[in-house]
Chains A and B, each alone.
Chain A
């Protein structure tokens, strides 16, 4: 019954962009205990600040997202959790020494393209696949 309830909640919330997600009941439960739930964090890397704009043409910087937080049972309604993560969280709850907590990791990744000059003034456009974290979840 827990899994069914969670599936329902997942279906409701998974399509929302991260910033639009409103904290659920369980989120408050975790926050009140002083723990941070698994979510996407943002860190802007500026090529201007790195003094690289003489060779990097575009972009001027990028949002280097990363996943951080805990995957504690019950897994929060707003995150993508695999069936295995749900099961692992339950086992961890019962036998903490036997199984570690599920891991907070990227669930969707996208590419980033960088345009830059090389030493010979040739221009290079390089695509780095699976570089930008689009969403995080428990695995």
Chain B
């Protein structure tokens, strides 16, 4: 599924 870019951050 497509994850928003911000979910890359911890």
Q: Does B associate with A?
A: no
Give A residues with C-beta under 8 Å from B: none
